[in-house]
Structure 1
Amino acid sequence: MKKNNTTINEHAKTLVCMYNYIPDTSGIVAAKRIYQNKEKVDLIHNKQPKDEFDTDFNNLVSQYIEDEVEIDTLYRFNYGNHSKEFIKKSLKEIEKLTSRKGQYNKVYSRALFAISHFLAFEYKLKNPNVKWIAEFSDPMLYDSNGEKRESKLDKESANRLNDIIKNKGFKPHYDNDNYFFYAEYIPYLFADKIVFINENQRSIMLNSLPTDLKDSVIKKSIVLPHPILDKEVYYLKNANYNNIDKNKVNLAYFGRFYDKRKPYSILSSLYALDDKIKEKCVIHLFLPNKDEYQKLVDCMPLNKDNIIIINDYYNYLEFLNLLTKFDCLICPDTKTDKHYPYNPYLPSKVSDYLGSQVDIWGIYEKNSPINKMDEIKYKSDMDNLKSIEETLKHIIQDKIDRM
């Protein structure tokens, strides 16, 4: 257990339940909420992999954390013995905290990962008067392919959940043992407040619910985008990055490239530009899988003059500082391939980009949250390569005109 060294005049009355924490993306959003609210909390989370720990941002947020408890269990996304172990150990640690400080008034949980909600639920069961705020980063039951996530609860756990649901006067689902179903259903029934990131997400997640339950969840839900940190936070730690040529237009992308978020449309559009325009542009990619894409880029004729520069990740505070150094920040949508009636995903990096006050280039899927945002200056249809090419040309020319 870690204890904040600041003087405590009154104990924290909010418990934050996070299975995953910094530097996991969802954990960073939870940490940003803590920092933005500037309210003293206690925090419980699973121990994060050592090679991924972000000390700088953790230290910044810790000024608002009275007690932080790390639970040492296997780190996994799906349900398993580690889930039971995490909840069991966490409840014991929470009991130690409350025996010393009294019960909490509020409990907050955020998923992904689902275990966070299940821990908050267990505390809510023991303390019915606590206000449980449950936040969803993305749909839990279905992935970005529109395919159902499956992870089987053991029979004892499934029956226990349904007995609790039945005893509270709600509809049980004894024939359903899918962990991810209950990751949504339990907060819908028992949380006092549900937080969604965007309206598309709320609509899609609630679409299949019976009308009475859907109406109930809507009444106690809010749409609350990812928090935007104060401008001063972007300058707390300078990022040592020397690859920016101020005589050129510098664009940057931060994150992962995977099946639903690939770089090829951006690189192809760069390749298609007239040489006089192309030579004025540099695209900086910050990726966790740097070596894989370095090999790809090295084979491309357009990169003979370092038009594309590939870098490793930076830690979070350095990342925020890096954002301020570029002319435009690239944010492609997660492609849902029409598995949803409209895209429910809003990348958390959008809030970080907005806080930097640097122009943003959104490469959107039709009717996505990114497409609807007036704050995003440049936009391209991700299914239209010509649109991407024309937008890139527009960005470069705009910046050249300002030089």
Structure 2
Amino acid sequence: MKDNNKKEQAEDLLIANKFPPMNDVSGIILAKRALLSGKRYDVCHTVIKEPLDNDFNEIAEEIIDNRIIIKNFEYEMSKKELNETFRNYITEGLKKLEETNPNYKTITTRSWGFQPNFLALEYKLKHPDTFWTAEFSDPLTVNIENKPRDRRFKLDNKEYIDRINNEIDKVNERTGQNLEHIKESDFIYLICEYIAYVFADKIRFTNPNQREIMLNQCPYDVKDMVMAKSEINPHPTLDEKYYHIKEVDYKIDDDCINIGYFGTYFGKRNFETIFYACESLNEDIRSKVKFHLFLNHGDNLKRLTGNLKISKNIIVNDKVSLLEFLNLSTKLDILLVNDTETKGNFEINPYRPSKIADYIGSGRDIWGICEKDSIMDGLDEIKYKSYINDFYSAKLTFNQIVKDSSKIDDGLKENPFEDNDYLAKRASAMSEDEIVELINENNYLKGRTNHLNHLFNGTRGRGLFADEAKKLNLKNEKLEMENKKLKKENKKYKKDLKYLKSSKGSLKYQIKKIVK
């Protein structure tokens, strides 16, 4: 970081809730955009707290002139404490910004976290020529289940609300619009979105579904205005040089298909169907598939997968820093990324995983576990695609990976899976052997479910495996119903076959009957 007493001043300001060295996705994305811009910045963020990523911070420091650090509030505070600390955040933040540089040409904010938009608004109102770009990472007013976020925090400050509404009136006078006033009953996340829509010069969304959902759910009529000044700009991909700043010495068997994942593994983010699909591969192929998983809580996955046939194929590692992740991603063959499951909650999926941008820069093939018709499902950059909780699509993907791989002997590629594929034959009449196969699959899933339930009941974070166990229970129930139906149909087929084999069921007997 340069000397704060130098004569030159950065003309551009970044405001984030968290910023490197804090290991926060939203702040890291803002730092990546700054690195790619080639400009220098002042950065305003809250007090530095763990977890930290000092490696990437050394890179970010190269484009930072000044850090302006403001005390933030904690979410466990009371409503009164929240409002008081929020007012202090705005007052202290604006004072420090003015002291550092009262003439910024641009301000860029990124929300997750609602605080940056309020501070940017204060500076923008004092310096209307400053160009404000407000970026949103995800919908703010609702969570991934499309349920309202914490609504207990409202601006308990009529004077502040009246002042903002007075500024909205000025916008209406200047533009001929009829923008509505904010209300005392509005919760903080809604106001955070609305003030950006009204006062920012540019609104940045990461994908069109996100924009559509956020604007449709906003109770204020701002859609036309925001569409006119917004852009779709996906998460940034760093230049190739950043993937080789920190070389990692990691053992990889180059004779194997090495599949990597970096992130979390719990609840809806799991690879159960992929593991099942891998288990169905022929042994000669299965032994050549390795999973390299870099996780926050690796021990949990080891317990989850301990009784799988492929447990030795799953290599669990601790989480790595961003620069280590970038480098490791270039050493693997295929990189896994999870979509966000939104079916039943949103009309369209508003999320685009930020990890895709990092994977694209690695130059390796990407396997996306997609929600159907999501943004991720439509990306050409993702070579392999299967679908959430869809075992059969995972098998089809493995089939394609095997065919594409130079690490698998051509003689094995024609029939990469063990035995008969029962799923492919459900459309036709099933033999008794196939029904037994289905029953065995059901019994296997029962055992798997019992294992997950055991882990779930013995885990402190009892919600950790709840989704996985619940999904497997539902799958068991569905398979049991299919078993009953197929057994019934099989009895009927046996009866028909017995009749056809009898003297009265023979073709000769039927012809005689017709002639008579």
Q: Provide the TM-score with structure 2 as the length reference.
A: 0.72
Separation in structure 1 between the aligned mates of residue 5 and residue 281 of structure 2, nearest angstrom: 59
Counterpart residue number, 2:200: 191
Separation in structure 2 between the aligned mates of residue 93 and residue 9 of structure 1, nearest angstrom: 18
- Checking the alignment, whether the CA contact within 8 Å between 2:275 and 2:310 is kept in structure 1 is no
- Checking the alignment, whether the CA contact within 8 Å between 1:158 and 1:174 is kept in structure 2 is no
Does 1:17 find its partner at 2:26?
Answer: no
SS in 2 for 1:376: coil
Q: How does 1:328-347 map to 2 (within 5 A)?
A: 328-347=334-353
SS in 2 for 1:63: helix
Q: How does 1:290-305 map to 2 (within 5 A)?
A: 290-303=298-311
Counterpart residue number, 1:89: 92
Per-residue Cα deviation, 1:172-204 (whole angstroms, up to 9, x for no partner)? 132533111112111111111000001111111
Aligned with residue 273 of structure 1, among 272, 281, 296: 281
- CA apart distance, 1:158: 6.2
- CA apart distance, 1:270: 2.0
Q: Which amino acid aligns with 1:290?
A: G
Q: Which has the higher contact order (CA 8 A, sep 6+)?
A: 1
Segments of 5+ residues of structure 2 without an aligned counterpart are 170-178, 410-516
Q: Which amino acid aligns with 2:104?
A: Y
Counterpart residue number, 2:404: 398
- Checking the alignment, whether the CA contact within 8 Å between 1:46 and 1:86 is kept in structure 2 is no
Separation in structure 2 between the aligned mates of residue 74 and residue 209 of structure 1, nearest angstrom: 26
Report the count of equivalent residues: 394
Is the helix fraction higher in 1 or 2? 2
Q: Which amino acid aligns with 1:222?
A: E
Q: Cα distance 1:251–1:174, how it changes in 2: closer, same or farther (>3 A)?
A: same
Aligned with residue 218 of structure 1, among 227, 231, 256: 227
Separation in structure 2 between the aligned mates of residue 158 and residue 223 of structure 1, nearest angstrom: 35
SS in 1 for 2:142: coil
SS in 1 for 2:186: coil
- CA apart distance, 1:288: 0.8
Aligned with residue 311 of structure 1, among 317, 338, 351: 317
Separation in structure 1 between the aligned mates of residue 248 and residue 362 of structure 2, nearest angstrom: 14
- CA apart distance, 1:48: 2.9
Counterpart residue number, 2:107: 107
- CA apart distance, 1:212: 5.4
- CA apart distance, 1:382: 1.7
Separation in structure 2 between the aligned mates of residue 11 and residue 261 of structure 1, nearest angstrom: 44
Does 1:380 find its partner at 2:386?
Answer: yes
Larger Rg: 2
Does 1:360 find its partner at 2:360?
Answer: no
- CA apart distance, 1:241: 1.7
Counterpart residue number, 2:190: 181
Separation in structure 1 between the aligned mates of residue 290 and residue 158 of structure 2, nearest angstrom: 54
Q: How does 1:179-258 map to 2 (within 5 A)?
A: 179-209=188-218, 213-242=222-251, 244-258=252-266
Separation in structure 1 between the aligned mates of residue 210 and residue 228 of structure 2, nearest angstrom: 16
Per-residue Cα deviation, 1:359-382 (whole angstroms, up to 9, x for no partner)? 001111112111111111111122
Q: How does 1:45-124 map to 2 (within 5 A)?
A: 45-50=45-50, 52-74=51-73, 76=75, 80-81=82-83, 82-98=85-101, 102-124=102-124
Separation in structure 2 between the aligned mates of residue 212 and residue 85 of structure 1, nearest angstrom: 31
- State which drifts further: 183-192 or 163-172: 163-172
- Checking the alignment, whether the CA contact within 8 Å between 2:154 and 2:184 is kept in structure 1 is no
- CA apart distance, 1:76: 4.5
Q: Cα distance 1:295–1:194, how it changes in 2: closer, same or farther (>3 A)?
A: same
- Checking the alignment, whether the CA contact within 8 Å between 1:15 and 1:108 is kept in structure 2 is yes
- State which drifts further: 127-136 or 79-88: 79-88
SS in 1 for 2:405: helix
- Checking the alignment, whether the CA contact within 8 Å between 1:159 and 1:174 is kept in structure 2 is no
- Checking the alignment, whether the CA contact within 8 Å between 1:280 and 1:396 is kept in structure 2 is no
- Checking the alignment, whether the CA contact within 8 Å between 2:154 and 2:188 is kept in structure 1 is no
Counterpart residue number, 1:127: 127
- State which drifts further: 277-286 or 151-160: 151-160
Q: Which amino acid aligns with 2:13?
A: L
Counterpart residue number, 2:36: 36
Q: Provide the TM-score with structure 1 as the length reference.
A: 0.91
- Checking the alignment, whether the CA contact within 8 Å between 2:339 and 2:370 is kept in structure 1 is yes
Per-residue Cα deviation, 1:13-48 (whole angstroms, up to 9, x for no partner)? 111111111320111100001100111110011123
Separation in structure 2 between the aligned mates of residue 158 and residue 387 of structure 1, nearest angstrom: 55
Counterpart residue number, 1:168: 168
- CA apart distance, 1:162: 5.2
Please, what is the CA RMSD of the aligned residues? 2.3
Separation in structure 2 between the aligned mates of residue 188 and residue 353 of structure 1, nearest angstrom: 31
- Checking the alignment, whether the CA contact within 8 Å between 1:329 and 1:358 is kept in structure 2 is yes
Segments of 5+ residues of structure 1 without an aligned counterpart are none
